C-alpha cells in the first residue's frame, strides 16, 4: 500500500496497540491532538487515553516511567517530540535504560521504544535540528535505528516494539511526507536492521542514514549521468552496527564515503571508516571519506542552514574528488 512515512509510524503503533495489551504510547500532545507531527493520529480515538496517553512536559519523568513499566512487564512506546529533547532525559536513557539489565546480572528485560524526530533543513534553529544519532549510539544496552523511508519507519517500529531490549527509533522531520509502497502484512523481522543496498555500483560505496539516504540516491543519479556508478547503502542501524554488507560493498568498489547529518567528531562515519580500514584495508584504493555537518551548531538563516547540510551536490563533488 502506498503510504507516507508519517502514516507508516501511525500504522505500526496501531498494529501493536491492537495486538498486544501491554503496549501503550505516551508523549506530549500525542493523544487528543494526534501528535505535534501527527504521528499518532486516530490512536487516541481507537484505544483511549489510558493507552494513548498525553503527558505533561516532563521528559525525564515519562522516559523514566517507561523504564519502570518495561521492567514490570509492559511495553511502552514513548514519543519525544524533537530528538533534541533527549538532552532533558539523557540520564534516564544512558544511565538507566541502557545499563539496567546489565547491572541486574542480565536477569531483567527493558523492552521499551523511544521514538523521536530529529534533523535539519526545516529552519528550526540550533535547538530543534539535531538528529540525535551520535548522542545515543555510544551505549551498550541500547539498540539504535534510523528510518530513512516509509518502509523503514513501519518495519523498524514494528520490530522495535517486539524487541526485548530498549530501542531508540530515530526519525527525520524532513521525511514525514515521503511516500512508498509498503506491505503492511510483511512479517516482523530483525532483517530490517540489515544495511540495505539501495543502488548498485562499482565505483564508490556511499553509506548514509535518515534524510541523507535520499540525498545520496539523488547524487547517484547525477553521477550516473557522468558515467560514475556508486553503490548507495542505507545503514539503518547504528547499534549494533552490522559492517558486513558495507565491507562486502567496499571489497567491490574499493572506496568508501559516509554521509551523515552529524558533526564529524564522534559521528558514526568515523566508526564505519575505522572498521572498514581495519577490516578491509587491503581492498581500499583511497582513504575513506566523510561528508558531515560543519563544526558549528545549526544556523537559522536559510542559506547558512542549507550550506551546513550535506547536499546531493556536495556528495557529487566529494565522489568526483575521490575518483580523481
Ligand X SMILES: Cc1ncc(C[n+]2csc(CCOP(=O)(O)OP(=O)(O)O)c2C)c(N)n1
128 has catalytic annotation: yes
Say which of 7, 15, 28, 59 is annotated catalytic: 59
Residue 33: CB minimum distance to ligand X, A? 11
Residue 266: CB minimum distance to another protein, A? 16
Residue 82: CB minimum distance to another protein, A? 9
User: Is 103 an interacting residue with respect to ligand X (CB under 6 A)?
Assistant: no
User: Is 300 an interacting residue with respect to another protein (CB under 8 A)?
Assistant: yes
Concatenate the DSSP letters of all residues of 102-146 into one string: HHTTT------EEEEEE-SSSS--TTS----HHHHTT-TT-EEEE
Looking at 122, 177, 189, 200, which residue binds another protein (CB under 8 A)? Answer: 122
Could you give the string, one character per residue 162-181, with x where binding to another protein holds by CB under 8 A and - elsewhere? --------------------
Q: Is the peptide bond before 240 cis (omega within 30 degrees of 0)?
A: yes
| Chosen from another protein, ligand X, none, partner binding at 304 (C-beta under 5 to 8 Å by type) | another protein
User: Is 128 an interacting residue with respect to another protein (CB under 8 A)?
Assistant: yes
Surface-to-core class of residue 222, CB atoms within 10 Å of its CB (0-12 exposed, 13-18 middle, 19+ buried): middle
For 281, phi then psi, to 5°, come to -50, -45
User: Is 200 an interacting residue with respect to another protein (CB under 8 A)?
Assistant: no
Question: Residue for cell digits 533534541?
Answer: 84
Bridge partner residues of 53 (DSSP): 26
Surface-to-core class of residue 52, CB atoms within 10 Å of its CB (0-12 exposed, 13-18 middle, 19+ buried): buried
| Chosen from ligand X, another protein, none, partner binding at 299 (C-beta under 5 to 8 Å by type) | another protein
Rounded distance, CA 246 to CA 256, Å? 9
User: Is 81 an interacting residue with respect to ligand X (CB under 6 A)?
Assistant: yes
User: Is 307 an interacting residue with respect to another protein (CB under 8 A)?
Assistant: yes
**62, three cell numbers:** 515519562
User: Residue 129 CB: number of other CB atoms within 10 A?
Assistant: 26
Q: Which of residues 27-66 bind ligand X (CB under 6 A)?
A: 28, 57, 59
Nearer of residues 128 and 255 to another protein, judged by Cβ? 128
Q: Report, as residue numbers or ranges, the catalytic residues.
A: 59, 128
Which residues bind to another protein, rule: CB under 8 A?
28-29, 32-33, 36, 54-61, 84-85, 87-88, 122-128, 294-297, 299-304, 307
Amino acid at each position: 500500500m502506498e503510504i507516507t512515512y508519517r502514516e507508516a509510524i501511525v500504522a505500526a503503533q496501531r498494529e501493536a496497540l491492537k495486538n498486544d495489551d501491554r503496549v501503550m504510547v505516551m508523549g506530549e500532545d500525542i493523544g487528543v491532538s494526534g501528535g505535534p507531527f501527527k504521528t499518532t493520529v486516530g490512536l487516541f480515538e481507537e484505544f483511549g487515553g489510558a493507552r494513548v496517553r498525553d503527558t505533561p512536559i516532563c521528559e525525564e519523568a515519562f522516559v523514566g516511567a517507561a523504564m519502570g513499566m518495561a521492567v514490570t512487564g509492559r511495553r511502552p512506546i514513548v514519543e519525544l517530540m524533537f530528538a533534541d529533547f533527549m538532552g532533558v532525559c539523557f540520564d534516564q536513557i544512558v544511565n538507566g535504560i541502557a545499563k539496567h539489565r546489565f547491572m541486574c546480572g542480565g536477569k531483567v528485560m527493558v523492552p521499551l521504544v523511544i521514538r523521536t524526530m530529529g534533523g535539519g533543513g526545516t529552519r528550526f534553529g540550533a535547538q530543534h535540528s539535531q538528529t540525535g544519532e551520535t548522542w545515543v549510539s555510544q551505549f551498550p544496552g541500547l539498540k539504535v535505528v534510523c528510518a530513512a523511508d516509509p518502509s523503514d519507519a513501519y518495519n523498524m517500529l514494528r520490530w522495535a516494539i517486539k524487541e526485548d531490549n530498549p530501542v531508540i527509533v530515530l526519525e527525520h522531520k524532513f521525511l514525514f511526507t515521503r511516500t512508498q509502497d509498503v506491505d503492511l502484512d510483511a512479517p516482523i523481522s530483525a532483517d530490517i536492521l540489515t544495511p540495505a543496498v539501495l543502488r548498485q555500483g562499482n565505483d564508490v560505496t556511499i553509506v548514509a542514514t535518515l534524510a541523507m539516504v535520499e540525498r545520496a540516491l539523488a547524487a547517484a543519479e547525477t553521477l550516473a549521468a557522468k558515467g560514475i556508478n556508486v553503490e548507495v547503502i542505507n545503514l539503518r542501524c547504528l547499534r549494533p552496527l552490522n559492517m558486513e554488507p558495507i565491507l562486502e560493498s567496499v571489497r567491490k568498489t574499493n572506496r568508501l564515503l559516509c554521509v551523515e547529518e552529524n558533526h564529524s567528531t564522534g559521528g558514526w562515519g568515523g566508526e564505519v571508516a575505522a572498521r572498514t580500514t581495519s577490516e578491509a584495508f587491503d581492498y581500499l584504493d583511497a582513504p575513506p571519506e566523510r561528508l558531515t555537518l560543519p563544526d558549528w551548531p545549526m544556523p537559522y538563516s536559510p542559506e547558512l542552514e542549507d550550506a551546513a547540510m550535506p547536499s546531493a551536490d556536495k556528495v557529487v563533488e566529494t565522489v568526483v574528488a575521490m575518483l580523481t
